[in-house]
Structure 1
Amino acid sequence: MSRLVCADFDEFEEALYGVQGRYVLRSRQQRDWRLRVVELNGVALMFGREGAGTVYSGVGLPGFFNIFLPLNRHECTVVNGHRFDRRLLAWMVPDAMFHIDASQPATWMTVAMSCELVLRWAKVHEDEFDPSILSRNLVNVAQMDIAPLIWLARRLFRIDQQAPEDLHNPAAEHAARTELMDRVFRTLLPLATPGRAPRARLDHQQILRKALELLASIKEAPVHMEDLCVAAGASERTLRNVFNRYLGMSPHRYLMMHRLHTIRGAILQARPGDTITDICAQYGVWDFGRFAGHYRTYFGELPSQSLHGRLRTAGTLPLHSIIR
């Protein structure tokens, strides 16, 4: 995690991710300026605390889309002429000018997402995505409660601060950035234009068979929603309908349960020297506390207890072993 504490706004201004612009102070400085950034290989989460009331005029950098939401003083924040409240968030596209007027020192959150990742997400969700948002800035009423997005962001900051090695391996970063982008767009969407022509009906049995075949064929790597959509040749909305109809749950929940069972299988086949951290890293686990809670709910014991039981059965548990 990048942490920056500045006595004035110049260094703070230069460190902002995904945008470029200038601050004009509209009140005297009341506190220092603070910035925290977590980078997830194409997605950057940023918390900022400004030291004064400001006007910021900027432009989205060519490679990034951004969302912006204030975390306090909502009524004192105006974005592109729209006064904020707790239900609004702003969307900024590359190369488009925007203006943020904060009459009081504000704290805010942004998520910068690479164009490549946004376009990939849009393709997987093409029947519920309005492509016109890719070319215009907007201030939109959130379609879901914003609180879960903020909660997820705070979890990422906490893990990045306390256990960065858990978050910054390729599988974990992929899982974390996928979860964050899904939450961003679920909060922003639906924005699909009414009356769009429906896609041709696909064979639900064939979709389900292809998705489950992919899960069965991959044993030692994480599987994500995008992988299921590509394998099944269907959008996420169609997959949700199929999974809920035939399996009684969403594909997100099915993937979570599949991952739990896969990791449990790997634990029960563990060799001397294997740790829970090593095993879970293969499957994109980045929040071990949350994962352990889910694991105990389904299997009645913590992952570490499963591993200790496996090693005791095999007669290879070292006396000094303490594995979380």
Structure 2
Amino acid sequence: MVVQAASRSPLNQFSRFETADVDEAREIVARHFCSHRLERMSSSDRFDARQNRVDGCRVSLNYIRYGADVTIEPGELSEFFLIQIPIAGSARIENGCQSVFSTPKMGAILNPDRHTSMRWHAGCEQMLLQIEQSYMQEIATRMAGRSVGKVRFRPDFNLEKSEGEGWTQALRGVFRAAEEGNSFRTLDQRQQYLEEGLVMSLLNSQPNTISPLLERGDSGAAPAILKRALSLMHERLDEDISLLEICGHAGTTPRNLQIIFKKELGCSPIQYLQRARMKFARHLLLSDNGNHSIAEIADRSGHRHFGRFSVAYKKQFGETPRETKQGRTFG
């Protein structure tokens, strides 16, 4: 069986190799990603491997095909996230305990701290975005406004939903800009902003362990009083804090703060604080690796009464804290 690759692949002028030799393909791809096992699953189809790649400051753009039906097993990626967007064919991706059947309608996100194995079927061609794990953590921390645990994404990335479709269109635009020489040439501040925007939009588009921390009311146009109040709340989600302390930090009276919160966010300051603490608790449950009990997580998110915490958590999220922790939604 002979599989014809696309006549012109993405990043065509940035070819790193093109080979019919499995060992050569494995060796060169490993230089750019990590050591892995690469094996052909059939001798009847044509092994026709190619990688195109261009490096940025903290991310890289890639195009890869193997032509033939192959298995790839890198284990844990450790140092980077890898977002895979098929442009032809299909692949079966295992990342941790989750499996994704990847097609041009369904991408995959490989979390670096989860064991990965893949089977790329004959004719599979993919665009890949490689993001340094440390950079993802840095951007996530800045977006959340506080330190966060390990970032972990839901591996199945639906490219037909509006968020996934919009992000993929943006990624294709970045590929085109690189091909046209408008990006990934000079690693300057403009390039840094491009990469930062791409990573930020991914964190906003695909469910991940810090998603609960990003679901804040928009205070962009709010008065300075509201901004100061929100800043203190999010800095002290794990601490006991009174309405008077919030007012003192914000420089206003309780009545005025109540009016501002109702007008701008549709709730009282204490209601907002309770919801923010619940979202922080959900983040901790999703990102915990079995190191903390649910009671400890409740306390770390500012909840001092475990029974009331469990009831309120289920009311807000539709599942118990234990179900969130055991479900391991993100692999």
Report the TM-score when normalising by structure 2. Answer: 0.51
Summarize the alignment of residues 92-171 of structure 1 with structure 2, pairs less than 5 Å apart.
92-126=110-144, 131=149, 133-134=151-152, 138-141=155-158, 144-163=162-181, 167-171=185-189
Please tell me the residue identity of whatever aligns with 1:122.
A
Amino acid at match of 1:12: A
Cα distance in structure 2, aligned partners of 1:69 and 1:129: 30
* Offset at residue 23 of structure 1 (A): 1.3
Aligned AA (1:138):
P
30, 42, 47: which one aligns with 2:46: 30
- Counterpart AA for 1:22: R
Question: What percentage of aligned pairs have identical amino acids?
Answer: 15
TM-score, length-normalised on structure 1? 0.52
Counterpart code for 1:4:
R
- 1:65 Cα shift? 1.9
1:297-308 aligned at under 5 Å gives the runs none
Q: Which amino acid aligns with 2:92?
A: V
**Which of 16, 21, 25 is equivalent to 2:36?**
21
Q: Secondary structure at the match of 2:156?
A: strand
Tell me how far 1:140 sits from its aligned partner. 4.7
Query: In the alignment, what sits opposite 2:24?
Result: 11
Aligned AA for 1:89? G
Report the alpha carbon displacement of residue 130 of structure 1 after superposing the two structures with TM. 8.5
Partner in structure 1 of residue 100 of structure 2? 82
Query: Quick one: distance in 1 between partners of 2:162 and 2:123?
Result: 27
Question: How far did 1:47 drift?
Answer: 1.3
Cα deviation, residue 111, structure 1: 1.5
Deviation at 1:106, TM superposition (A): 0.5
Q: Deviations over 1:237-276 (max 9, x none)?
A: xxxxx9xx79xxxxxxxxxxxxxxxxxxxxxxxxxxxxxx
Pair 1:36–1:197, CA change in 2 (3 A):
closer
Distance 2:165 2:35 in 1: 27
Deviations 1:204-237 (A, max 9, x none): 3228999xxxxxxxxxxxxxxxxxxxxxxxxxxx
Contact 1:60 1:66 in 2 (8 A): no
Q: How far has the Cα of 1:152 moved from its partner?
A: 3.0
Distance 2:214 2:166 in 1: 32
Structure 2 partner of 1:189: 207
Assess, with a 3 A threshold, how the Cα gap between structure 1 residues 176 and 123 changes in structure 2: closer, same or farther.
Answer: same
**Structure 1 residue corresponding to 2:197, chosen from 170, 175, 179:** 179
Contact 1:42-1:117 within 8 A present in 2 as well: yes
Once residues 48 and 36 of structure 1 are traced to their aligned partners in structure 2, the CA distance between those partners, rounded to angstroms, is 7
Amino acid of the residue matched to residue 156 of structure 2? V
Distance in 1 of aligned mates of 2:154 and 2:100 = 12
Gaps of 5+ in 1: 211-241, 247-324
CA distance in 1, matches of 2:149, 2:158: 18
Tell me the SS of whatever aligns to 2:63. strand
CA–CA separation in structure 1 for the residues paired with 2:36 and 2:88: 22
Q: Letter of the aligned partner of 1:93 in structure 2?
A: N
Query: For residues 197 and 165 of structure 1, do their structure 2 counterparts lie closer, same or farther at Cα, with a shift above 3 Å needed?
Result: closer
Aligned equivalents of 2:193, 2:26: Cα separation in 1: 30
Name the structure 2 match of 1:225: none
Aligned residues: 209
Letter in 1 for 2:41: R
Structure 1 171/57 Cα, relative in aligned 2: closer, same or farther at 3 Å?
same
**Deviation of the 1:43 alpha carbon:** 0.8
Residues 41 and 59 of structure 1: CA distance in aligned 2, closer, same or farther (over 3 Å): farther
Counterpart-to-counterpart distance in 2, 1:130 and 1:11? 40
Contact kept? 1:19, 1:59, Cα under 8 Å: no
